[in-house]
Structures are given as structure tokens and as C-alpha cells.
Amino acid sequence: MPDDDIVLKVEDLYKSYGKIAVLKGISFEVRRGETKIICGPSGSGKSTLLRCLNLLTRPDKGRIWLEGEDITNRNVDINKVRQKIGFVFQEFNLFNHLTALKNVSIGLEVVKKMKKEEAHRIALEMLKKVGLSEHAHKYPAELSGGQKQRVAIARALAMNPAVIFYDEPTSALDPQLIGEVLEVMKALAREKVTSVVVTHEMGFAQTVGDELLFMCDGKIVERGPPMEIIRKPKCEETKKFFQRIHELYARETR
Ligand SMILES: Nc1ncnc2c1ncn2[C@@H]1O[C@H](COP(=O)(O)OP(=O)(O)O)[C@@H](O)[C@H]1O
Ligand SMILES: [Mg+2]
């Protein structure tokens, strides 16, 4: 795969758990600097897809290239692959016994074998980027959900990954904390940090998303510019989904 511009290429991915087929032939590409949005109803296979891309789960069939390397090859070094992918989860997954600073620097120290001073310098820089310089010494329990998620983003960024995956990063947050996390994510998208974002935040998708993939029942049933798909969905499933999202948001902001 000679195209240097393609960070991630997914070809005909399949995954079943026992008799349940969760992914049924997923294909797409992510170009350098792109923000790809993935939406779809609960259970459509979005998290399973991200887990396959990160090799947390082995796909049954299909291939994945990360920066030109076929990572579905059995001989691939999984740890090296994971170092190239930042992962931001719905539930933050911070180390509760470590400060914000240490949460961000630990990967650099342990995985990248960086000297403590250098790792701390980079960690502080990343915390500054997400607006948390003042909170570097605090433990997760002393931070709000929005602040914790921003630490998680700083931690992903610190490793200088080829791509960052976000799996519903604002779904566990109180409505008033969602904005600060989306602002950080928008700024990164504008800086052309390559990312794949599973989210139902339509404002975010329309502002910075380059392409939206709509998943239903393990397949991508519709794809294209986020604005077009959200305003004029073609598939019945997509229409129903966005209708529900609109109703939900209307209720919340009433
Ligand atoms: N480890 C697993 N074992 C069995 N079934 C699973 C596992 N992970 C996910 N599933 C099933 O796969 C389907 C898709 O799940 P998931 O990828 O989490 O969807 P989404 O993130 O779109 O909500 C669901 O029916 C779920 O129950
Ligand atoms: Mg999920």
C-alpha cells in the first residue's frame, strides 16, 4: 500500500462472537489529518470495530493496514501497533492512584523509556494543550468528569500516535461538561490530528468531521459528508436514528 497519505486502511472486516455476527464486511480509509466520524445505533458494532483496529480483538476475516503495515499479519508486534494508536474511552480509564501529570507521563516513561524529566516536560505541555496546566498535581478523584476526559486526551496525545480513536468520549459526562471536551477535540481536529471518533454529537460531526460513516447491524449503510448525511439521510435506518437524536437533544435543552 504505497499511498503515504493513508494512515489507516480497513478492508472487508468480519467479526463474530459465537453465532452473533457483529461486523459484516467493513471497509474504509482514514487519510492523514482527517477526522472520521462513526455513528450508529447501540449494538451496531462501533466499539467492536475500534477494538479490532487496535488488536484488542482479532477480526475473523479482512485486513487492516496502519501506516502501510498489515497489522492483521500474525507476526506483527502488537505492542508496537498499540503505541501508534491513542485510545480515549467513554469511562476515561485513568489510573486513580496517579496525579494528572503522572497519568500522562507514565506511558512515556514505561513504554517509550523516556527520562522522567523529559516525560514530565512533555506531559505538562500536553496538559497545557487541553487547558489543565493548573491541575497537573491533582488526582482523578479531585477532577470533574470533563477534566478527567481531557487528561485522557492529553495522555493519548503525549504518545504522538499516528491516529487517535475516541469511543463515545462524552457519553458518560453531565451535559454541562460535554462542551469543554468537545472544544479540545475540535481544536485538535483543526490542528489535523488524525482521528476516528465514535460520537452522537452532531454539532461536532458537522463542524470538524471530514466524513461520516453510519453503521447499522455490522455494516456501513451510508457514508459521506456529515452535514449531508445528518440533514438528508438516504437510508431508512439513518433517518430514524437522527430523528431520535434530534428529539433527545430537543428534550435536554428545553
Ligand atoms: N466480547 C463480546 N462477547 C460477545 N458479544 C459481544 C462482545 N462484544 C460485543 N458483543 C456484541 O456485539 C454487538 C455489538 O457491540 P458493540 O460493538 O459494543 O456495539 P456498539 O459499540 O455499536 O454499541 C452487541 O450485540 C454486543 O452484545
Ligand atoms: Mg460502543
Which residues lie below 8 Å from residue 150, measured CB to CB, with a gap of 6+? 130, 131, 132, 180, 181, 184
Q: Which atom of ligand 1 is nearest to the CA of 42?
A: 23
Q: Which atom of ligand 1 is nearest to the CA of 48?
A: 17
Rg of the chain, C-alpha, whole Å: 18
Residue nearest to atom 6 of ligand 1 (CA): 17
CA 171 to ligand 1 center in whole angstroms: 17
Is there a contact between 188 and 197 (Cβ–Cβ < 8 Å)? no
* CA atoms lying within 13 Å on the CB side of residue 237: 16
The CATH-assigned architecture of domain 1-31+39-81+198-254 is 3-Layer(aba) Sandwich (3.40)
CA 238 to ligand 1 center in whole angstroms: 20
Is there a contact between 151 and 105 (Cβ–Cβ < 8 Å)? no
CB of 199 shorter than 6 A to ligand 1: no
CB of 47 shorter than 6 A to ligand 1: yes
Per-residue pLDDT of the chain in tens (254 residues, 90 and over written 9): 557 799 999 999 999 999 999 999 999 999 999 999 999 999 999 999 999 999 999 999 999 999 999 999 989 999 999 999 999 999 999 999 999 999 999 999 999 999 999 999 999 999 999 999 999 999 999 999 999 999 999 999 999 999 999 999 999 999 999 999 999 999 999 999 999 999 999 999 999 999 999 999 999 999 999 999 999 999 999 999 999 888 887 766 54
CB of 44 shorter than 6 A to ligand 1: yes
Which residues lie below 8 Å from residue 174, measured CB to CB, with a gap of 6+? 145
